[in-house]
Amino acid sequence: MWKIALQRVAMLILMMLCVSLLAFLVPMASGSDPARTILLSHGSDLALDPAQVEALRRELGLDQPLPMQFLIWLGNAVQGDFGNSFASRQPVIHEIGSALIVSATLALSALAIAVAVALPMGTLAAMRPGGRVDGGVTLLVQTFVAIPEYWLAPILILIFALHLGALPSSGWFGPTSVILPALALSIRPMAYFTQVTRAAMIDVLNAPYITAARARGLSMPQTVLRHGLRNGSIPVVTFFSLWFASLLGGSVVIEVIFAIPGMGRLFYEAVINKDIPLLQGGFVAIVALAITINTLADILYVVINPSLRGANGR
């Protein structure tokens, strides 16, 4: 047990090291000189003073050989210091922190909506595969998968913000401003979760223990609630964690349409501004969180189904 845990931690550390090397190098590959970029972004003067550039290069440690630069960056990163953003001159960690909270709130709201709709829909479809409900759900799922967010988002704004005036059309201030973007973002995961729930529940509802539960007098709804959903939810947990990790990186389209200061927009602007420290820090943060979420999902499997204990420790 402990051996497996230790192996696992060692793997995670190794993985994070590789990731940080990539995170460090990839933004560097843009080929532009960070010192020139910074100076250009600060002033409109196109003719830069070479001495000034050189001084800044030294200040940023860019005169050091690349491996040395990496070690210095890594040393700081371990202490939570990813440097300052070139564009805003704020510490990267603060920029990422506030954007992450926004993106995580948006992602969790969207996925909560998706699960809340997908679990009952998928379960209802699975109770009579090939039946009328199943056909309706399948049609709905196919429609949802095909709806692009950049189309749905403006439609939602038109209906709920402009026409009904019930919800704000853009910005990020309080719970009401989460609803529309979360709704727009939920539609595709909703479709996938429904399909996964349906497939899993069809399997589960054919299991012997479901017949046994019915044989001791449980009604079909009682059986599904008490013995079906929990067993059928394991693949949903997998999908949930994958979607959560990917949505943490932000959704550029939704964040731009609704003017939300999340990770998607932060990254988008960082790329435009060639903001190397922000790109490096953001990359590391996203990957670290994705790994954490994955590990939490692994633990959750065992909580849901204790017989998987041991089966997961490769």
Q: Closest distance between other proteins and the C-beta of residue 28, in Å?
A: 49
Of 70 and 301, nearer to other proteins (C-beta) is 301
150 binds other proteins (CB under 8 A): no
- Pick the piece of the chain touching other proteins (CB under 8 A) from 28-36, 38-46, 185-193, 298-306: 298-306
Q: Closest distance between other proteins and the C-beta of residue 231, in Å?
A: 6
- With CB under 8 A as the contact rule, the residue among 135, 226, 259, 292 that binds other proteins is 226
Q: Which amino acid does the sequence have at 21?
A: L
Q: Closest distance between other proteins and the C-beta of residue 310, in Å?
A: 10
- With CB under 8 A as the contact rule, the residue among 38, 113, 200, 227 that binds other proteins is 227
Q: How far apart are CA 119 and CA 196, in angstroms?
A: 9
The full length of the chain comes to: 314
Of 198 and 227, nearer to other proteins (C-beta) is 227
Q: Closest distance between other proteins and the C-beta of residue 133, in Å?
A: 14
Under a CB-based contact definition with an 8 Å cutoff, are residues 62 and 69 in contact? yes
132 binds other proteins (CB under 8 A): no
- With CB under 8 A as the contact rule, the residue among 218, 242, 252, 288 that binds other proteins is 218
Site string for other proteins, 186-215 (x = CB under 8 A): --------------------xxxx-xxxxx
Q: Closest distance between other proteins and the C-beta of residue 210, in Å?
A: 8
Q: Closest distance between other proteins and the C-beta of residue 222, in Å?
A: 6
Size of residue set near other proteins by CB under 8 A: 22
Q: Closest distance between other proteins and the C-beta of residue 223, in Å?
A: 10
Q: Which amino acid does the sequence have at 100?
A: L
- With CB under 8 A as the contact rule, the residue among 65, 67, 174, 217 that binds other proteins is 217
Of 238 and 273, nearer to other proteins (C-beta) is 238
304 binds other proteins (CB under 8 A): yes
User: Among 242, 244, 232, which residue's Cα sits nearest to residue 305?
Assistant: 232
Q: How far apart are CA 62 and CA 36, in angstroms?
A: 12
- With CB under 8 A as the contact rule, the residue among 2, 47, 306, 314 that binds other proteins is 306
Burial 84-95 (b: 16+ CB within 10 A, else e): bbbbeeebbbeb
Of 146 and 308, nearer to other proteins (C-beta) is 308
- With CB under 8 A as the contact rule, the residue among 76, 219, 292, 312 that binds other proteins is 219
Residues forming the site for other proteins (CB under 8 A): 206-209, 211-219, 222, 226-227, 230-231, 304-307
